[in-house]
Amino acid sequence: MKAISTTIIGVGILAFFLSTQTYATDAGHTSEAMEHAGEAKAHGEMGHAKDSLKHAKDSLEHAKAARDDHAASHKHMDEAIKHLEAGIKSAEANQSKEAAEHTDEAIKHMRQSGH
């Protein structure tokens, strides 16, 4: 009986540690997306459309990964992705201020995603 209890506890602990890594991955993508979005916003505000574009694209990739990793954050990550895509279009059109505004909105939605 003691062996069965020990086995059940061991399996529970193993499941906890395996799920912890999943949550860490979700948070990692969100924080990377936010970091790159912040860089995109800053470069947009400084008039550096090329640098803003690069960081916005990196942010978009991480935002999509975060959205795919955790279903509960879909709504806000979808909104963040829309703003990142609009920011990329603005940066490609050399409209750095508009790109900064879109990445700012993306950051707000990433924060609200719960990661």
- Say which CATH superfamily domain 26-112 falls into: IL-4 antagonist (De novo design) like domain (1.20.120.660)
Torsion of CA 34, 53, 44, 58, to 10 degrees: 10
Residue ranges of domains in the chain:
26-112
pLDDT at 28: 85
Q: What is the pTM assigned to this prediction?
A: 0.53
Q: List CB contacts of 102: < 8 A, sequence separation 6 or more.
A: 83, 84, 86, 87, 90
User: How many C-beta atoms surround the C-beta of residue 23 within 10 A?
Assistant: 12
Q: In this predicted model, what pLDDT tens digit does every residue of 57-115 receive, in sequence order?
A: 999 999 888 877 666 667 888 899 999 999 999 999 999 999 999 999 999 988 888 76
Strand, coil or helix: what is 46?
coil
